[in-house]
Amino acid sequence: MVNFFNLSLTELVSYLESKGHKSFRARQLWKWVYQKSILNIDEMSDLSKDFKLKLPEYFSWHLPKILKHWLSKDGTLKFLLSTDDGLQFESVLIPSRGRLTICVSSEVGCNLACDFCFTGKQKLKRRLVTSEIVGQVFLLRQFLFARPEILYDLLKLTGQKLFVDAPGQPKNQKIWLEQNKSNNPDFLKDIVQWQANLHAHAPTNNIVFMGMGEPLDNEDNVFKSILILKEQLGFNYSGKKITLSTAGLVDKIPLVAKSGVRLAVSLNASNDKIRSSIMPINKKWNIEALLNSCSEYVKKTGELVTFEYVLLKGITDSVESADQLYSLTKRVPCKINLIPFNPHPGSSYKTPSQSSIDKFHQRLYKKGAQVLLRRKMGSDIYAACGQLTSLNNQME
C-alpha cells in the first residue's frame, strides 16, 4: 500500500499498471482527487465497481491535519498543521492585489540557522515528504470552500471579480459577485460551488516555497511536489505561478531552472562579511558564487531572479549598503524585494525606521533597480517573512 499523495501522475500510472489496470484509470482517479477534491471512493462515479473495491488495498490517503488557524487584521491566514508522527509546521494564505498566494513549508525546522529567522532558531526535525507538501495546498484550498464567508472576504481583498451563476437565475446568466453579496449562507454556498465547478478549487493562483525550511535541502520531495502542482489534469499551476526561495544552495540552483519555476534568493546583505555573520551558508557559497549561479539560471530560463533583502536596523539598512547592493546585483537580470525585519520572540534585531527604509528604497530606485518594498502581511499573527515556527508558543 502506498500513500496516494506521494505519487506523481507518471508513478500512479505505473503503479496501477503493475496491478493490471489500464492507464486511463490512473488519470480518472487523479482528476477526482486533484480536480474535484473528492476522497470518498463511493463518489467517484466513473470508476468501475471492481476498481473501487481494490482502491483501499492499493492506497492510503494520509494528509497533514490542520490543528489551528489564525486570521490577521490584514486578511492573512496562518495555519498550524500536524504530521502523522506529531510534528508541527505552518502554512500561510496571503491575499494581495489580484492574487491569493499559498506559502508552503518544506521542512520542520531548518538546518541553515539564519540568525534573523525564527525558523532558523530551530534545529531541523524532519524534511517534509511529498504528501505533506502537496497536502498543504490541498488542505488550504479545501478550507476555503468549507468557509465561504472567509473566501468571499479574501476575494474582496485581492480585488478579483468573479462571475457566478446566480441562484434562481437561468444557468448561464452571470452577475458580479460584488453586487450580489448576501448574508444568506445558501447564496454563499452556491457561489463557492460554482467556483469549485469552474476552477476545481478556490482561486489560489500563486504558490511560494517560502515557509519553514530550505526547499533545496529537501529537493527530492520539493521537486516532486512541484511536478504534482503543475500537472494539467490536477491543480494545473503554471511554473510562472510557483516561486522557490533559497538561502543559496548554489549547487542545487540548476534544479530550479530544470523544474520550470521561478527563483527567489535570500540575499540579505551587500558584502560577504555581513552575510556570513547572519547567514552561515555564505561561508560555504559566497556572494560571488551565488550570483554566478543566478546568472546561469537567467541564461537557461529567460526569467528574472528575485533577490530578497531583509532590512536590519544598523546592519543592512545604510545608504552605503544600498549602493553596494545595486553594484552587486546589476549584473544579474533581477528584481529586488526589500523586506523590513519582522520581529519575533528572543530576537535582538530591530526593524529600521520608516525613514531609513524609504531612503534605502529610493536609493535603489533612482539608480535604476527594479525594486519593490514588500508590504508587511500577517505580522500580528507571526505569519510574516521569518516568523514561522513549529514551536507554537508565540501565539499563546
The pLDDT assigned to 216 comes to: 99
Q: What is the mean pLDDT of residues 140-145?
A: 85
The pLDDT assigned to 122 comes to: 84
pLDDT tier at 73, thresholds 50, 70, 90: confident
As a whole number of angstroms, the distance between CA 100 and CA 323 comes to: 33
Considering only CA atoms, which of 191, 186, 189 is closest in space to residue 176? 191
As a whole number of angstroms, the distance between CA 230 and CA 260 comes to: 10
Determine which one of 110, 117, 334, 385 is catalytic: 385
Instruction: Give the tens place of pLDDT for each residue, 319-361.
Output: 999 999 999 999 999 999 999 998 878 789 999 999 999 999 9
Considering only CA atoms, which of 171, 172, 190 is closest in space to residue 180? 190
The pLDDT assigned to 199 comes to: 46
Residue 133 contacts by C-beta under 8 Å, 6 or more apart in sequence? Answer: 104, 105, 106, 221, 222, 225
Higher pLDDT, 209 or 36: 209
Burial class of residue 354, CB neighbours in 10 A (0-12, 13-18, 19+) = exposed
The pLDDT assigned to 191 comes to: 55
Q: What is the mean pLDDT of residues 50-67?
A: 97
As a whole number of angstroms, the distance between CA 175 and CA 180 comes to: 8
The pLDDT assigned to 36 comes to: 86
Domain ranges of the chain: 2-60, 65-143+203-381
**Is residue 334 flagged as an active site residue?**
no
Q: What is the mean pLDDT of residues 150-161?
A: 70
Q: What is the mean pLDDT of residues 251-258?
A: 98
As a whole number of angstroms, the distance between CA 88 and CA 67 comes to: 9
As a whole number of angstroms, the distance between CA 133 and CA 6 comes to: 9
pLDDT beyond 60 at 11: yes
The pLDDT assigned to 170 comes to: 38
Angle at 251 between CA 247 and CA 255, to 5 degrees: 90
**Are 2-60 and 65-143+203-381 equal in CATH topology?**
no
**Is residue 43 flagged as an active site residue?**
no
DSSP labels for 49-89? HHHHHHHHHHEE----EEEEEEE-TTS-EEEEEE-TTS-EE
**190, HSE (Cβ side, Cα atoms, 13 Å):** 17
Contact between 79 and 140 under an 8 Å Cβ cutoff? The reply is yes
pLDDT beyond 70 at 195: no
Q: How many CB atoms lie within 10 A of CB 152?
A: 18
Higher pLDDT, 387 or 99: 99
**β 262-266/99-103 pair status:** unpaired
Q: 144 — phi, psi (to 5°)?
A: -65, -35
Determine which one of 90, 107, 219, 308 is catalytic: 90
Angle at 204 between CA 224 and CA 125, to 5 degrees: 45
pTM of the predicted structure, to 2 decimals: 0.89
Burial class of residue 276, CB neighbours in 10 A (0-12, 13-18, 19+) = middle
Q: What is the mean pLDDT of residues 145-156?
A: 73
- Secondary structure letter of residue 233 according to DSSP: T
Instruction: Give the tens place of pLDDT for each residue, 16-25.
Output: 999 999 999 9
Chain position carrying cell 525585519:
341
3-state secondary structure of 45: coil
The pLDDT assigned to 172 comes to: 38
pLDDT beyond 90 at 203: no
| 2-60 placed in CATH 3.30.1330.10 | no
Instruction: Give the tens place of pLDDT for each residue, 105-124.
Output: 999 999 999 999 988 888 89
Tell me the CA end-to-end span of the chain in Å, nearest whole number.
39
- Secondary structure letter of residue 20 according to DSSP: T
CATH number of 65-143+203-381: 3.20.20.70
pLDDT beyond 50 at 177: no
